[in-house]
Structure 1
């Protein structure tokens, strides 16, 4: 049997969990990764070297590689806060930045490192440019810069991207549109709605490809609401916002977690951005003409609520094999 072609779109810490599980399956796997981060190590590097930020790409490279655990720990090693200019930088970010500078492109750097780490699959930054994410709030206020958005006390109406240096609309990296058009199944998330998923799909070429593709589109809904982004959101609200940004209802299937997060489990000091568990509104989901797969996708660890990558991957592969 030929491998079903699965494209996963997103960023942050959500999609690596699913990608790590999917790479063990009999699938042709592609990751399209957001490059709008301007905070922390990634923000400092993009300002200094003028490249697309490496942080989310680093996590995806590791997730899709079968490298030994010690090699992963080397790439994820974060310099101590007392280490001057190196403070807070993961070593993997510096390696990506160095290769990007050598080759004049983050896109080319990731292709080179994918071969270096023997990755069975493809990884593409959503754009090869340095991008700025803008959030327009319901009250008309606008915040520029991904790292600043959660700090404004208001409800986000919509987000959009510009190329940082020119203010122009961003252009998708090569092969991104081709991957979407050739996919059997496209997976959005899991991840922060406004700052990890939407920064990919509001790129005009990617948005248009999602309109045109014949692939089945699956959204993995978040388990917890997120401070400054999705406070008081139901699962149907997440889907509604995606459709509003896309301009049409294109999501075919939604995966929602049915397992309850135990009260007082969440470590609010460690995961202060997460608020409460996302409520279900199956009636509103059905009104958006999506299929609902409700199951136990919960993985409780380290005081946080995460997706069980194996359980999510199993559902995605089942969907892909039906296409």
Structure 2
């Protein structure tokens, strides 16, 4: 797939600057696609994970949770032998009966560099150089965050009653339905490099990913949210292929956009990308997209293997069409 150049009016010799927001598997999918489309990709990653290896390192050392940052770096590795090898090394988890069990090599490498350099962004840049990453990875905030969600349906006797659930893992795995999310601390500091990347971008891509725990949190960091609303960049929202139990159970395609608008009423959207197989009725989705000021793009994006995951090649082709129009 050929790389595209900057939009009209910019230096045609440079690639478009694209910022991708999210975390976990959804951001991994968008980065795996975007690095095939442009050579100027910056991932801005949520830092609220409190489970697994990341949660243990966060609790023990007081660092940013490295797991989603690691996954983003792995997604930006190249398709050559060097890239494949380092991606596997970064994602490798130890299996043992001791304290190392479950830790990802990449998490330990990232935290080691943070301790040596005393700078989270510099540490990630060093890992990126080692991997030959096709882009840059930044945390959305300079401090570890906690997600708090208002959830309904936990008590079957009072299905509309709201319960406050705290922690990313708890919010993502709740038996109820998430209605809204907030961050603790309430007004966290944004990563200055992340704000700068958004302001200088040509395109900003939201999603796919866990909607309440990976995508929306970026809009709850005040300085970053202001940059996302006021940037000259065009904004793309890539919708998920299926709802997630608890977090987005029962969501229709347009529901993701309605929730996005509730959390960021001033945010405009230029393009919404959705999978043809998940949109049964285009009318309500097209209506909400129009209310946000954008246009709807439909494409076959699924792997087609029964899993609710995007195919990197198909997603890359769809994003290339969008970024060149």
Q: TM-score per shorter chain, which class?
A: 0.7 to 0.9
- What's the TM-score, normalizing by structure 1? 0.87
Tell me the secondary structure at the aligned position of residue 231 of structure 1: coil
Structure number with higher strand proportion: 1
Q: What does residue 305 of structure 1 align with?
A: 308
> RMSD across aligned C-alpha pairs, in angstroms?
1.9
Q: Distance in 2 between matches of 1:233 and 1:60?
A: 26
1:283 equivalent to 2:301? Answer no
Aligned in 2, Cα 1:32/1:150: closer, same or farther, shift over 3 Å? closer
Aligned in 2, Cα 1:136/1:105: closer, same or farther, shift over 3 Å? farther
**8 A Cα contact 2:299 2:318, kept in partner:** no
Shift of 1:8: 0.6
**8 A Cα contact 2:94 2:100, kept in partner:** yes
Q: What does residue 194 of structure 2 align with?
A: 176
Aligned in 2, Cα 1:280/1:123: closer, same or farther, shift over 3 Å? farther
Shift of 1:121: 2.0
Q: What does residue 161 of structure 1 align with?
A: 183
1:85 equivalent to 2:99? Answer yes
Shift of 1:278: 6.8
Q: What does residue 18 of structure 1 align with?
A: 30
Shift of 1:184: 1.1
Aligned in 2, Cα 1:142/1:278: closer, same or farther, shift over 3 Å? farther
**8 A Cα contact 2:47 2:65, kept in partner:** yes
Q: Distance in 1 between matches of 2:247 and 2:285?
A: 20
The more displaced of 61-70 and 249-258 is 61-70
Q: Distance in 2 between matches of 1:279 and 1:131?
A: 37
Q: What does residue 127 of structure 1 align with?
A: 141
1:50 equivalent to 2:62? Answer yes
Shift of 1:69: 2.3
Shift of 1:56: 0.8
Shift of 1:47: 0.5
Q: Distance in 2 between matches of 1:150 and 1:198?
A: 13
Aligned in 2, Cα 1:70/1:122: closer, same or farther, shift over 3 Å? closer
Q: Distance in 2 between matches of 1:280 and 1:35?
A: 35
Q: Distance in 2 between matches of 1:58 and 1:193?
A: 20
